Amino acid sequence: MAANTPKVELRRSSTMGQTVENPQNAKETLGRLLRYFVQSQRLLIGLLAAVAAVTVTSLLAPALQGRVIDAIKDRSWQEFRVLLAVLAVTFLLNGICSLAQSLLSARLSQSIVRQMRYDLFRKIDHLSISYLDRHSNGDVMSRMTNDIENISNTVSQSLGSLVSGVLTVVGTIAIMFWYCWQLTLITMVTVFLTVFVTKKMSQMMGGVYRKRARALGRLNGHSEEMISGYRTVLAYNRQERTRAEFMELSDRLTREGVHAEILGGTMGPLMNSISTLGFVMVAAFGGYFALKGLITIGIISAFIIYAKQFSRPINEIAQLYGSVQTAVAGAERVFDLMDQPDEDNSGTEEIEQMQGNITFRHVNFSYLPGKQVLYDFNLEIHSGQKIALVGATGSGKTTVVNLLMRFYPVDSGEILIDGKNIMSLRRDWLRRNTAIVLQDTVLFSDTIEHNIKYGSPEADDAAMLRAAQTSNCAPFIERLKDRYQTFLKQSGASLSHGQRQLLNIARAVIADPKILILDEATSSVDTRTEQGIQDALVKLMKNRTSLIIAHRLSTIQDADVIVVMDQGKVVETGTHEELLEKKGAYYALYMAQFYSACEKEG
């Protein structure tokens, strides 16, 4: 199904030894991202003002230091004291503004990320089931966590540095040219050398870092697989083989890591060497220009500082490029999810006295174009009937439920409830009057009380107790220390599968639906537990229209009508006895399960 979904393609490059994700449409994404900055414009203006103040004071300090040195040389002590006081104030302001910059950056990033998380979660809350079926939970969660966290880190750590770096470079060049254009041109040589070396080193380091990342990924994958399958490793006595594979992968990671660290460690010394070369050139040529009377000794001192101050933001901007690109790529993924269409919310009608009659009339459906799942599906379900859908995996049983719940729209045909097309009914009303008990139990990390009342949050404690009694989960709840206030950790991991299923049934009971759907509700429990669940389901299905999907045919023998499906079509209908007499598709399924059960018992 994933082929139907537009995906954000990310190009990868390498900058300063880091793998960088490049967005496909950076301009549009930046434009949308800036709208979040506008929503926090006061913080943004304050941050830019703080950055400007830090930059101005950083540019003034070297000039003042140069003038202080010249005042000492000229023995102008009055000017020396004034300049020293101004220099101290400048450093003090720089420190205060730097602190303000850090605080405002943090506030701005959290403000933006908070709004983005809210918008994204609100979007997820309205996403169609089809989108979530086509994308893994990990992919959606990654957009909520990793991608937004990248944006937060870039805003808090990189935005101020990026703006400050650009202003510093421009301001430094202007001041250096004003002092001595000849010495400025000489200084530019080291700048171009820095850029050239950085580019070459980045290309080399990119390949090495990618190899290390791949080696780390293989090691992590092997470790996760062995830990999650530890029982199997022990059962087949494969500890030695597993340990040998781990050591091989670990040694490979060590080799790649050493290579990467050595190469990465040369970047700093190379940059320091180039920077030192720049200082030597400034000192040598500056001394010559001073002897010629073009500049003073104080200006030479200022130039040395400006030369260092000029190369630092260039290196920082090069390093920030990767994080900015990754953040924009993350924002593109976030906006891609936000741009997905909402779940269809059409329909305004309600049925005042709902009976629960369901009609599928000439329904055709396909998840993907050209791959049809249901073919001219027709089914009539009367109020209070118990209908069972059976058939091989992929025959379309669960699809029928998806369409009834409006998780997907039909391609053609119609589904009626009490004579009204479900597309004309309010979606929330339809689902409020329908309850599902699935094979995969879903419990939340909360108390048992809140998990049961999830089916009807406005229900009182008396209704909760009746639901627990009806679903047969009251006995085991009463044995728990905190009873209904027991907090379920890890979605009820401390309970057996059967107990978790009974709580799911209690949730359906308290919802008091007119239509009940059971999708393989007992397929993954043992026979004894299944009997307890079946007893609870019998109570739950009383006086309700019930639609049951089951692989175990023994659980639906008392159904009013059994519908046998094959490749999206209804091939047989009737009661259990009628279908056995026909000796058709149902008979073949039943006899296959019967003999399989006999073989297991034998």
- What secondary structure letter does DSSP report for 70? H
> Facing residues of 545 across strands?
515
- Structure tokens belonging to residue 301: 């001192």
Task: Give pLDDT, residue 531.
Answer: 65
Q: CB-based contacts of 363: which residues, under 8 Å, 6+ apart?
A: 374, 376, 377, 378, 403, 410, 412, 413, 414, 415
- Kindly tell me if the per-residue pLDDT of 599 is higher than 50: no
Q: How far from the centroid of its chain's Cα atoms is residue 479's Cα?
A: 39
Which of 101-110, 305-314, 517-526, 588-597 has the highest average model confidence (pLDDT)? 101-110
pTM to 2 decimal places:
0.63
Taking a C-beta distance cutoff of 8 angstroms, is the pair 61, 94 a contact?
A: yes
* CA distances from residue 577 to 382, 453, 561 in whole angstroms, order as listed: 20, 39, 11
Taking a C-beta distance cutoff of 8 angstroms, is the pair 510, 458 a contact?
A: no
In the chain, what's the furthest Cα-to-Cα distance?
Answer: 119
10 Å CB burial of residue 570 (0-12, 13-18, 19+) is: buried
Output b/e per residue, 339-376; b: 16+ Cβ within 10 A: ebeeeeeebeeebeebebbbbbeebebbeeeeeebbee
- Please tell me which residue, 452 or 274, carries the higher pLDDT value: 452
Antiparallel, parallel or unpaired: β 561-566 and 386-391: parallel
- Kindly tell me if the per-residue pLDDT of 175 is higher than 80: no
Lowest average pLDDT, out of 4-8, 51-55, 166-170, goes to: 4-8
The whole-chain average pLDDT of the chain stands at 77
pLDDT tens readout for residues 191-232: 777 777 777 776 776 677 667 767 777 787 778 777 777 777
Q: CB-based contacts of 104: which residues, under 8 Å, 6+ apart?
A: 43, 46, 47, 50
Closest listed residue to residue 138, CA positions, set 130, 147, 129, 151: 147
Rounded Cα distance between 419 and 169, Å, is: 74
C-beta contacts of 445-449 below 8 A and 24+ residues apart: 445/487, 445/488, 445/489, 445/490, 445/491, 446/487, 446/488, 447/484, 447/485, 447/486, 447/487, 447/488, 448/477, 448/480, 448/483, 448/484, 448/485, 448/486, 448/488, 448/503, 449/484, 449/485
Rg (CA), the chain: 35
Q: CB-based contacts of 504: which residues, under 8 Å, 6+ apart?
A: 437, 438, 441, 442, 443
pLDDT tens readout for residues 343-370: 777 778 888 888 888 888 888 888 887 7
Task: Give ∠ CA 301-305-309 in degrees, rounded to 5.
Answer: 165
- Kindly tell me if the per-residue pLDDT of 6 is higher than 60: no
> Facing residues of 425 across strands?
349
- What secondary structure letter does DSSP report for 419? T
- Structure tokens belonging to residue 473: 């989960």
pLDDT tens readout for residues 243-258: 888 888 888 888 888 8
Residue 206's identity, in one-letter code, is: G
Residue 73's identity, in one-letter code, is: K
Q: CB-based contacts of 359: which residues, under 8 Å, 6+ apart?
A: 379, 380, 381, 415, 416, 417, 419
